[in-house]
Structure 1
Amino acid sequence: MYTILVIDDSPSMRRIIKDMINSIEEFEVIAEAFDAYDAREKIKEYEPDLVTIDINMPKMDGVTFLRNLMRLHPMPAVVISGESVRGNDIFDDGAVGFIPKPEAGESMISFGERIKDNLLNLTFLLKRYTLKKPKAKKQVKTKSLEVNKKNHPDLVIPLKKAALMGKKIIAIGSSTGGVESLLKVFKSLTNNLPPIVITQHIPYGFSKSFADRLNDNSSLNVAQAETGMILENGHAYLAPGNMHMTIERTAGGNYQIRLLDDIKVSHHRPSVDVMFRSVNNTVGGAAMAVMMTGMGDDGTIAMKELYDNGAYTIAQNEESCVVFGMPAKAIQAGAVKDIVHLDEIAEYIIDFAKNKRR
């Protein structure tokens, strides 16, 4: 069953849409929101598989909200609004469906049938582009933001003794605001860099298209990570939206990707903490870790481990972050060597590759 958040400023229209959706066996309305700001909080709280959006809303119109949603938290969205809004290029803005609201004289039965037909036609897309991830075996809760092992979740893979320094690798973690920020960084990177691994908190189904977008806007070869991939210079690898990404050393001394379908760590799968720890175990002090914009504290523990192991660590500064959460926690934990503006991150990565920064 797919869960839906209904966003509409009209209580009566929310009730009508909710009742119609709940009558469809494959769908359930998990929450309602009366404007874009309420919707933002409900999305974070309920993590729906799909949202329906009205265009004419107070405070922030639906088109602006849709654009922000696709930029900061991409997910399937269906516009339910007046027929005239179709000229707003809502599909170019990221909508996967459009359902006109009933016109004068149209029966609610007809309106309900259009909702049903539209949603059922989207099920094949939702199977591919859905937020519905495999259920975690156990939900892990963090009780403290301090870097203290007993107050943090198990990081899935154990921390090993400091690894022998291997070949360089660059690891990047990001969340809210990371999609556009990563695009900006990757446009400025050269193609002669060590392998780059990326964990961006992104819904399942959107990570492949985002990897393709990075690839199209960068001189690097960017791909969604798959188990068994050997890391190569001039290449970057993005964790899938529902799997932890780890790095292992092969018998031949190469780095190889291994994906884990395991419990959420720091409330996320993929988790920056899991990736950073595996990089620390495998690469040790030869690594560079970059913490970019994002909400929460995912990555803080393992970034401190990397820092203590001699790796070069940087964090995006508050001024250039969409959300100064993950970088702030890493800085507070003493896990960061340099604090860098978004516009300078690519330069720092290139300098690290050239041995100019340690």
Structure 2
Amino acid sequence: MKKHKVIIVDDQRSVRSMIKRWIESDQNWEVVGEASNPFEARDLIIDKHPDVMTLDVHMPEMDGIEFLKKLLPQHPMPVIMFSSSTAEGTSITLEALDAGAFDYVTKPSGTPESLIEAKEDLLYKLNEALNYNATSYQNSKTTLTKNLSSEKKQGTFKTKLIVIGSSTGGTTALRKLLDDVDKSFPPILVAQHMPENFTALFAGRLNAELKVKVVEAKDKQILEQGTVYIAPGNYHLEIQKTNGDLYTKIIQTEKVNGHRPSVDVLFESVVTNGLAKDSIGIILTGMGSDGAKGLFNLKNNGCLTFGQNKETCVVYGMPKVAFEMGAVMHQLPLEKITDKVRELGAK
């Protein structure tokens, strides 16, 4: 049986050895090379043609971000970053995702539990990296030319709520999707698979870049027009309806589909509160199936539903399951979803 090839890039030999043991515990994978810096890594890529590369965020001589920006245009491939959960590590990891990294694994703290969790996370993401869509990287680097003479007029929405679910590739997809959203849009709630410490920083970055307000959701916030609420890492985000007003609800019940926040939990809360007919549900790039059942339930209760198409997804997993289930009413390229939402959600 032919094994899938990985190269490991990290300046610490002990870390490389640990990652190699983890990877080769799965008989489907083999480590074909190790590099202590990006220059060694570049030569290995040319020589070994790996299927996946793991890359440390902090590298001597050239940091991981700069390396990604130089590497991916010439050798599009899935790169899994190893990052720390510190504020600096989180910030650099988000930059790496912007630069085209496939996904990331948080470095273990040293406890037995954290080591097991990091190993399982890496093996899961390695296998999902085999579904990597290289053309999505090229699409993400294509600048959309905007006709400034025909700026879209802010409309009035009959839709009261927009809910979005995303995972791998979602940080970049969300930025692109929300770039054309303005203050006329109804409240937007997002369940993006992301750990603690990452979501507040991610929301802050979006808030600085977009035309609308973006916040990490807190419990019992009243939902306001023109505001995006990002589910906090390690918590579920739900909708709560009280005396006709809509609020956020933050809970830490069990993981659903292996995730917290879970897209299904967010979507199901819309149905539970009788809001499906007044809502729009969107499922974006991501591994697995989280959100598919919730989107199907939304659609069956009168919700307008959208799914990102295969060509623009980093991983056509969640949207694929939803589409094949019959949950997606409109499957579109990422850059066309917002315009269609505006058209169909307006009064």
CA distance in 1, matches of 2:322, 2:63: 44
Counterpart selection for 1:260 from 243, 251, 257: 251
| Superposed counterparts of 1:19-38, under 5 Å | 29=18, 31-32=19-20
Counterpart selection for 1:85 from 62, 65, 69: 62
Match of 1:228 in 2: 220
Q: Could you tell me how far 1:176 is from its partner in structure 2?
A: 0.9
| Superposed counterparts of 1:208-287, under 5 Å | 208-251=200-243, 253-282=244-273, 283-287=275-279
Match of 1:293 in 2: 285
Q: Return closer, same or farther for 1:123/1:272 CA change in 2, 3 Å cut-off.
A: closer
Matched residue count: 256
TM-score for both structures, normalised by structure 1: 0.61
CA distance in 1, matches of 2:46, 2:183: 40
Q: Return closer, same or farther for 1:79/1:218 CA change in 2, 3 Å cut-off.
A: closer
Match of 1:179 in 2: 171
Q: Decide which structure has greater helix share.
A: 2
CA distance in 1, matches of 2:54, 2:318: 20
| Superposed counterparts of 1:1-358, under 5 Å | 8=8, 15-17=13-15, 29=18, 31-32=19-20, 54-55=37-38, 56-57=40-41, 58-59=44-45, 77-81=56-60, 84-85=61-62, 125=87, 168-251=160-243, 253-282=244-273, 283-355=275-347
CA distance in 1, matches of 2:203, 2:226: 15
Please provide the CA RMSD for this pair: 4.1
Q: Could you tell me how far 1:33 is from its partner in structure 2?
A: 7.5
Report % sequence identity.
32
SS at match of 2:307: strand
Q: Return closer, same or farther for 1:86/1:328 CA change in 2, 3 Å cut-off.
A: closer
How far does the alpha carbon of each residue in 1:21-72 deviate from its partner, in whole angstroms, 9 at most, with x for none?
Answer: xxxxxxxx5x3379xxx79x99xx9xxxxxx9742322289xxx9xx989xx
Q: Return closer, same or farther for 1:277/1:18 CA change in 2, 3 Å cut-off.
A: same
Higher CA-based Rg = 1
Structure 2 segments unaligned to the other structure (5+ residues): 1-6, 30-34, 71-82, 92-105, 118-157
Counterpart residue identity of residue 173, structure 2: S
Q: Return closer, same or farther for 1:254/1:123 CA change in 2, 3 Å cut-off.
A: closer
Counterpart residue identity of residue 216, structure 2: Q
Q: Could you tell me how far 1:92 is from its partner in structure 2?
A: 11
CA distance in 1, matches of 2:171, 2:63: 26
Q: Do 2:159 and 2:345's aligned partners in 1 also have CA atoms closer than 8 Å?
A: no
